[in-house]
Each structure stands twice: as C-alpha cells, then as structure tokens.
Amino acid sequence: MEESWSSKIVNPYVKSWITEFINLATPDNVYVCSGSNEEYDQIASKLVASGSLLPLNPEKKFHSFLARSDARDVARVEKKTFICAVNKEDVGPTNNWEDPEVMRLKLSNLFNGCMKGRTLYVVPFCMANLKSPFALIGIELTDSPYVVCSMKIMTRMGSEVLDELGETNNFIKCHHSVGQPLLNGQKDVQWPCNPEKLVIAHFHDDLSIWSYGSGYGGNALLGKKSVSLRIASYKAKNEGWLAEHMLIIGVTNPEKKKKYFAAAFPSACGKTNLAMLKSTLPGWKVECIGDDIAWLRFGSNGKLYAVNPEYGFFGVAPGTSAKTNPNALKACEKNSIFTNVALTNDGDVWWEGLTECPPANLIDWQGNLWIKEKGLPAAHPNSRFTVPLSQCPVLDPLWDSPEGVPISAIIFGGRRKDTIPLVLESLSWRHGVFMGAGMSSETTSAVEDVDVVIRHDPFAMLPFCGYNMADYFRHWLALPDIGNDVNLPKIFGVNWFRKDNQGKYLWPGFGDNIRVLEWIFNRTEEFSEKSAIRTPVGFVPSRDFFNLSGLQLTNSDFKALFEIKSNEWLDEIHSIKNYFEIFGEHFPPALSKELNRIELELK
Ligand code: O2Y
Ligand code: MN
C-alpha cells in the first residue's frame, strides 16, 4: 500500500504529513488523485455502483449525477465551525473559539482510526490559476469519493499542483473525514456522515483545517469556504490583501466600455443570479468571473485587482429558473453533480421554482415518491448544482487571468423590505467601510418559516471571517494606506427587495438589475456630479439619471424605492450601534465617528 502512494509524492513535507495522517486515521487504502477526467469517471462509476450517485438521463443532463445526502447533513453548520488561536481575542465575538491544544486533542481522538475500511484520497488542489501571484495550494486528505469528484469541479485539482508545489512546504493542510469508519467488513451507507460529532476547525498557527463528520458542501469541500475565505482572510490581513465573499462581474456599456465590479451579498440574496445576469437593457452586457469568492490585491498601479479562486459553481438550485437565471440553467446541462434535488420520471432533475408546475411522479430529495399535498418541498431548500465555471455561457474572457481584473466598484447588498434604498453610493471610503460593517439581511427563522429576522452580517463575511471581525474592519479602513486612495474602487449598497405598504416588491429585479449597474457604472466615470443627490446615508440617483425606460414604474414607486426615511434610518443606526458594541476595544473609532456623523445629520 505504502509504495504505490508514496511513489507519487516526491515532496518530503507532503510525504511525512501524509504518513503521519495515515498512522492516525488508518485507512485501508491510499490513493493520490491525478485530477484526470478518466479518474473522475472511475470514481463516479464506483459511487454509482455503491448507490451513492445516480446517473441522470444523458439526453436530459449529459454526463451528470444526482447525490442524495443523509437528511441530517444538508448544509454548513456554523455552530460547529471553529477558529483556533491561543488568544480568544484574535478570533473575536462573531466566531466560535477553541484553544488550539484543546482542539488538537479532541481532533486526534476523533480522527483516530476514523478511516478504517475506507480509502484515503489525497487531493492536491490550487485556488486561483496555478500561475497567478494569488495562487494558494492546498492538499485535502479525505475519505469521501463524493468530495473528490466535487473538488475536481470546484478547484484546479491534480498532479500539476504537486509539480508546482515542488519541494516546498507552502501548502494548506486540509484534513477531512466523514467520521464513519467501516469496521469488520461493515457495509457502507449511501451518504456516510457523523452529524453528532461534527466539527470544522481552522488553526491560526499552521493554517491547517480539520473537518469531521459531514460530507456536505462548505463543511467538506475545504477549498471553498475554509481555505478561500476563513484561512485566506486571515492570511490576507497579515499580507495586505483581501479575501472576500464576493461575486465578480464584467459590465460592458453600449459604447463597449467595460468595467469590473465585485459584490458581497449574504447567502440567499441572489448572488449567483447577479453574477450571470441577462440584461434587459439593449447594449448592456454582464459577464461572469465568479459567483461567490473574490481575492483582491493591489496592482503596481495602485488599483485593486480581483480573481475568483474557484473553478466551479456550487449554486443553490431552488429558485433557479429561465426567468431568474437562464445562464445557470445552461451551465448545468452537462458534467454536473446535483445534490438533494428532486428526480423526474425521465431521469432529469427538478426543484421548486424551476417550472411553475411540478412534473408528475417526482421523486423527492430523499428518494421517496413526492406527494405535493404533504406540503414539503421536493428538492431540499439548500440543494445544489456543482458545475464547472467553464460551462457558464456568459463567462468573462478574463475569468482565468492570473493577474485578475481591475475593480471599479464594490457593491454591498442585502434583503431588506424597508429602510435601504435600491442603490446608495458611499460618501467616502470610510463611509463605504461603514456600509459594509453595518450590513444586515432578512432571513426566515428556522423555527417559524414566516418569522422574519434581521441578521447583521458585516461584509457578508459573518460565517467566513477567519479572525476578529473588528480587526477585519480595521484592515478595510487601512486599505487606502496600503494602496492608493485615488485608485480605490467606489463603494455602493443595493437592495432589490424593498416593498411597498401592501407588501409588494417595488423593483422587478433579475435582468432589470442592470439598470442599477448602469447607474453604478456611470457613477464611476468622471462626469457624474449631477447624477446623484447627497443624503446623510449616501448618494441616491437623481431621477433623470436613472434609466427607467420601458419599465412601468410610477413616480410614487420611484420615490418609495429611493426614499431615505429619517425615522427608519435612526432605528437602523441604533441597531447598528448596538451590534457594534459586541466588538469592544477592537472596534475601530473611525467607524464610531462615521456612525455619529450619520446620526447627527439625520436628526
Ligand atoms: O450549505 C453549504 O454547505 C453551502 S453554503 C454556500 C455554498 C456556495 C456558495 N455560498 C454558500 C454560502 O453559504 O454563502
Ligand atoms: Mn457564499
């Protein structure tokens, strides 16, 4: 066993790390992934044979599969996600903290023998183009073949990564186990996991990640949230760059001028839809670089350049339709893995919102005949499509550029039925950082589907900031000193979800969001003085400079979309002030000053 894997690993650091891990987890076999298409097919075939993957009808979804997870393992678990640093303060009040020594002891017990009866897969991967100055190499040791197939889609994975790593120790050590050893020839289940013992730990000292007990998404595909946000944001703070929960798009105007925007939205605010927007305005075009994560660094000209470190989309299926995101539907016509969606009787997939009427004889996400009258969804609300970025029909030509693209605007969004106008431009960099820090979004509470809860989610990074969030605010405030104030992107806030007094959405959204992007585009040009009105909370569009052509929007709708109501904003400021108090001494005074300025101006 030893010889076959070790002959493929020349790097002495990697070799001794794997050896040590084998001694701990005691897998039956070790397999080093090459990342080839043939290998993917072989592993997928094994998953099909064992019943863990179901091949879809190739005439409907070519070379694609359906996975059904254990019903207890369906999403990221924030409560069990830890950042481990000696000082609790370095982790801050928004993260779960654990002492590294305590956590290491706990993990060594959990991982002890956890891969008995299983194969350990060694998955070398690179986040960002291998030749990029942004590139971060990781190696995930996992006992989940589903994770291997997903990592092949979501990252640049395989032997070239080991070649690039050479003999250096410069890689992120990622350890993952589903936490269900197979003892004495025990038969495997369709989706092994161990939710009771779930833990996902990130260490400041050696930047390693240990994930135990889940096979799902962000818990298990460690290149995504764990490496590219939690670990990368911590590295970025120390090295003078940013790792953000942002999509990246290229926007071209009718004169063929192109600009790039990055936008941060909390989960479930339509980020993937915006990333692949199909414009309703003639001559305007949006092209996609990424839908979830952006790494931003200063170029030698002082501008911020962004790359998407990922190689695929792991998008929420429900709500994706020909109206909301036709490009995502095209992207997942082939070479895709669907997880927890419903199955049609002709071997295709279905989810709520895909079509108005569900097809007959659906099999639900748990593999049972779906009975509509029971009132439960056919697809799990967090069901996913995993597809290669390269299949996106509106992929930007620079999507794989090692240097990245220059960012002209940063957009913060959220889901709010009142208070926040359709679009706002910050008055300064400091005010923009305040806008990011004060972000919040409506979520439906897990208990009562109807209860709306407003969750503060600074920069949409609440679950993903790998260190003290107040220090993260300070890092953002310091960017003008690291780069060049003049060349920094402008900062905007958007809210597609404002409602009228009857509870009806005021804005059509989706393809019409291009109108907001148009205004933002024009505001990043030199000639923009007349196109906005200053308010205490930012610039809002002047009516004559906001494109409403072809829209049935009344004057009162326009007013309601953009109105800044002092009473609502004073409440908002009050809520933000209360929230900021959790950060104690780490909180940057510059943001308190900004808050006080707004409060004074509103009164
Ligand atoms: O539930 C999960 O494991 C996935 S969470 C996720 C996946 C893709 C993009 N964004 C998110 C998120 O929660 O922000
Ligand atoms: Mn996300």
Per-residue pLDDT at 488 exceeds 70: yes
Pocket perturbation via mutation, ligand 1, pick of 80, 314, 339 by most ligand atoms within 8 A of CB = 314
Q: What is the pLDDT of residues 547-577, one digit of tens each?
A: 999 998 999 999 999 999 999 999 999 999 9
Number of the ligand 1 atom closest to the C-alpha atom of 464: 14
- Range name among 1-15, 336-350, 372-386 with the lowest pLDDT average: 1-15
DSSP state of 363: B
Looking at all shown ligands, the one closest to residue 246's CA atom is 2
Per-residue pLDDT at 124 exceeds 90: yes
Q: What is the pLDDT of residues 442-466, one digit of tens each?
A: 987 554 455 788 999 999 999 999 9
Confidence grade of residue 484 (pLDDT, cut at 50, 70, 90):
low
Confidence grade of residue 527 (pLDDT, cut at 50, 70, 90):
low
Q: What is the pLDDT of residues 386-437, one digit of tens each?
A: 999 999 999 999 999 999 999 999 999 999 999 999 999 999 999 999 999 9
How distant, in Å, are the alpha carbons of 304, 492, 579 from that of 410? 10, 6, 23
Number of the ligand 1 atom closest to the C-alpha atom of 220: 3
Per-residue pLDDT at 528 exceeds 90: no
pLDDT at 485: 64
Q: What is the pLDDT of residues 158-186, one digit of tens each?
A: 999 999 999 999 999 999 999 999 998 89
DSSP state of 481: H
Q: What is the pLDDT of residues 295-313, one digit of tens each?
A: 999 998 889 999 999 999 9
| Gap from CA of 322 to ligand 1 centroid (Å) | 22
- Cβ burial of 248 (10 Å; 0-12, 13-18, 19+) is buried
pLDDT at 58: 98
Number of the ligand 1 atom closest to the C-alpha atom of 221: 3
Number of the ligand 1 atom closest to the C-alpha atom of 216: 3
Looking at all shown ligands, the one closest to residue 382's CA atom is 1
Strand 136-142 to strand 440-444: parallel, antiparallel, or no bridges (unpaired)? unpaired
Specify the long-range contacts of residues 21-24, CB closer than 8 Å, at least 24 apart: 21/111, 21/120, 21/141, 21/175, 22/120, 24/108, 24/111, 24/112
Helix 429-437 and helix 469-482, axial crossing angle in degrees, nearest 10: 160
Per-residue pLDDT at 596 exceeds 50: yes
Per-residue pLDDT at 1 exceeds 60: no
**What is the distance between the alpha carbons of residues 198 and 178, in angstroms, rounded to a whole number?**
9
Catalytic positions, please? 269
| Gap from CA of 235 to ligand 2 centroid (Å) | 19
With contact defined as beta carbons under 8 Å apart, do 580 and 594 qualify?
no
pLDDT at 130: 97
Ligand 1 and 313: CB distance under 6 A:
no
**What is the distance between the alpha carbons of residues 277 and 365, in angstroms, rounded to a whole number?**
28
DSSP state of 80: G
Query: What is the reported pTM?
Result: 0.97
Per-residue pLDDT at 60 exceeds 80: yes
| Gap from CA of 267 to ligand 2 centroid (Å) | 5
With contact defined as beta carbons under 8 Å apart, do 133 and 402 qualify?
yes
Residue nearest to ligand 1 atom 1, measured at CA: 75
Rounded to 5°, the CA angle 521-525-526 comes to 160
What distance, in Å, lies between the first and last C-alpha atoms of the chain? 73
Ligand 1 and 271: CB distance under 6 A:
no
Q: What is the pLDDT of residues 257-290, one digit of tens each?
A: 999 999 999 988 889 999 999 999 999 999 999 9
pLDDT at 445: 55
Q: Which residues neighbour 376 within 8 Å (Cβ) at sequence distance 6 or greater?
A: 364
Ligand 1 and 76: CB distance under 6 A:
yes
